[in-house]
Amino acid sequence: MLQAGQRCTATSRAIVVEDVFDEFVSRLTAACSAFRLGDPLDEETDIGPLASYEQFCTVEGYLELAEHEELDPVIGATVSDPEDGYFVAPTIYTDVDPGSRIAREEIFGPVVAVIRARDTEDAIRLANDTEYGLSASLFTRDLRTAVRRARELEAGVIHLNGETAGAEPHVPFGGIKASSSGTREQGGAAREFFTELKTIYLEDL
């Protein structure tokens, strides 16, 4: 919910295995219920408004789409009067079909689709079933599993036991699939990103 979900690495899908699904939803709902919307310059604020009226309308459209798809929000799915600011309440949808537009498209708002997976294998399959591949997270107490599964995730940035949104300036940043231009930025890769290569042949006459 950082930056009201308005960042390319926002966690917009949460794929949760069956064994901990209900507990996860309960804890996530409790956390989101405690978030305070308001002036982003106020230290008491957790979530500020969306960046523009256009984005406000876009997110509102996705909430209407979710209603049309008969998805019932566990929390949220409410918006403010635009005259009072472009606020969208933190919104959680659970048991979302992986094929739903709510799960497959980039909303750029404080909305998360929680998808149920049978087991870890199924979770990895669902995580990779997207045209995007910028950032992903995997949470587990088994470090061997973490490293092995991280290699299976199709994303340019992988976080183990941490949210997807973080990106350190000293390491390369970029994605794969539709989330990539084929290059990386930041860190040492930044030099290559801003470098145009030229090949010159010289023959000795």
Q: Nearest CA to 105 among 135, 51, 62?
A: 62
Single out the residue of 118, 137, 141 nearest to residue 127, CA to CA: 137
Instruction: Specify the residue for token string 């006459």.
Output: 205
Amino acid at 112: V
CA dist., res. 9 & res. 164, Å (int): 6
Report which residue type is found at 130.
Answer: T
- Apex 15 CA angle, 14 and 17, nearest 5: 135
| 8 part of the active site | yes
Q: Which of 166, 177, 185 shows the shortest CA–CA distance to 10? A: 166
**What is the token pair recorded at 155?**
């994303």
User: For the chain, what is the radius of gyration of the CA atoms?
Assistant: 20
Catalytic residue among 2, 7, 8, 154: 8
Query: Given phi > 0 = left and psi -120 to 50 = alpha, else beta, which region is 177?
Result: left
Distance between CA atoms of residues 94 and 79, nearest Å? 19
Catalytic amino acids? Answer: 8
